[in-house]
Amino acid sequence: MSKQRKTSLLFVALPLLLFILIMITTRDFSVEDKMAEEEKPTMTQLEEILERGYIRAITDYNSTNYFIYRGKPMGYQLELLQHFAAHLGVDLELQISNDLENSIDLLANQQTSDLVAKNITVTGVRREMVEFAQPHSRTRQVLVQRKPDHWYTMRSHDIEGMLIRSQLDLSGKTIHVHRHSAHAARLQHLMDEIGDSIHIVKRDEGTETLIEEVARGEIDYTVSEDHIARMHEVYYANIDARTPVSFEQHMAWAVRKGEEELVAAVNDWLSDFKDSPMFADIYDKYYNNPRSVFIAKSDLHSLGGGNISVFDDYFKRYADIIGWDWRLIASLSYQESRFNPSAVSWAGAFGIMQLMPATASFLNVSSESGVHDQIAAGVRYLRWLDERLHDEIEDDDERIKFILASYNAGIGHVLDARRLAEKHGKDPDVWRDNVDYYLLNKSDPKYYRDPVVRHGYARGSEPYHYVTEILERFRHYKNML
């Protein structure tokens, strides 16, 4: 073969070989990448929670599980969740939904929550949708009915004869229940058991509202969990809740199907916690406390009166001075004085906003000034701090944290912490895990003797927790009001 022909064949073969090599290489990488992607482990829900640093829980807003009283977030489920979050070493982010179906959808389908923390009765149907942790308590469903007129003048035996005590006597009765509760399903089963019809009216109103309607004579019957009904019997003496319509049922938290690690974490914590005196105290506080329903009817309960404090109108009026949400100012005031206008601190701070005498003089108020003047002065001081930090910290949400810390510790110590953060390679315009660390540690000579520090020693743990607690309480206020 001639040299020229060999060269010609080489020119034809080389591109073809190169094309084949590229295709093989590309195919190999594509297959390898796909295999690597398939083999890449996905995080469990528990691992995600620990990595992000907070757990997202759904609970319901009522007089026992989650509410605000005299400015303080309270509730059976809230306290259990706080202890569980602390056990995991993470923060708690609460979501509110009184619709159980919606809660399960948020958990199972939309996957925007980690667990549903409610008094969910464990049923076979629900087990197909979610994983249940071990029960945190148990209850039974009872009929709530009204005692006869003038019952207080009658003998107990005569009253008993006028009340429904047998489930068979529910035939033909009309019973109102919350649309998304387990009560409607239980009544459906009961109809099969007694072989007769019960007229079930499904309502959007919650069980507690329906109990009130029974007491007022607006409806004749509803169904409730036993522990809720017993509380309302104390408040409404004319109702009776001693007729069961179900056997005892477990109540538990729910997580997404397949999240065994998270269920195990809840169970490990709950097994120990349920045996502790603390759990007994929490349960008794909300379910064995005869004052519970009276508290729920108070004007200072988020359900009963919808107020945080008796000073809400002042917080709303003067919030415009700085342009903040009035509930944030209320949260600050609660932190300072628990809404006590007579409060005086060891350092001489006074009144509902705990103004120091020098600051109060600068703002033209004193301990003799009225509450409304003190609140206005406190908000003017917040605005003064805002004006001094506005050009330094552009982000409004971040600047609020610096203002709150300055209100507590003084702006000088906060500026020192910003300089320390910048010196150590942190962001002086970001509070969490940046400036807050240096303010927290400003009681350490390593930091307060640093040349960039101009205001010396500070007990930094107080403003550090001060900011966190005010903003957390503010989130609770926004959830419910």
Residues annotated as part of the active site:
336
Would you say how long the chain is, in residues?
481
Helix extents (H) in 274-410: 277-287, 292-296, 312-318, 326-337, 357-362, 371-389, 396-409
**Using H for helix, E for strand and C for coil, what is the string for 174-236?**
EEEEECCCCHHHHHHHHHHHHCCCCEEEEECCCHHHHHHHHHHCCCCEEEEEHHHHHHHHHHC
Spatial CA neighbour of 88 closest among 273, 256, 251? 273
Cα dihedral sign, 58-61-65-69? positive
Contact 162, 138 (CB under 8 A): no
Distance CA 327, CA 332 (A): 9
Beta carbons within 10 angstroms of residue 449's beta carbon: 10
Helix extents (H) in 390-444: 396-409, 411-423, 436-440
**Separation of first and last alpha carbons in the chain:** 94
Look-up of token digits 């269920």: 263
Spatial CA neighbour of 327 closest among 71, 75, 94? 71
- Residue 69: strand, helix, or coil: strand
Contact 97, 328 (CB under 8 A): no
DSSP secondary structure letter of residue 344: B
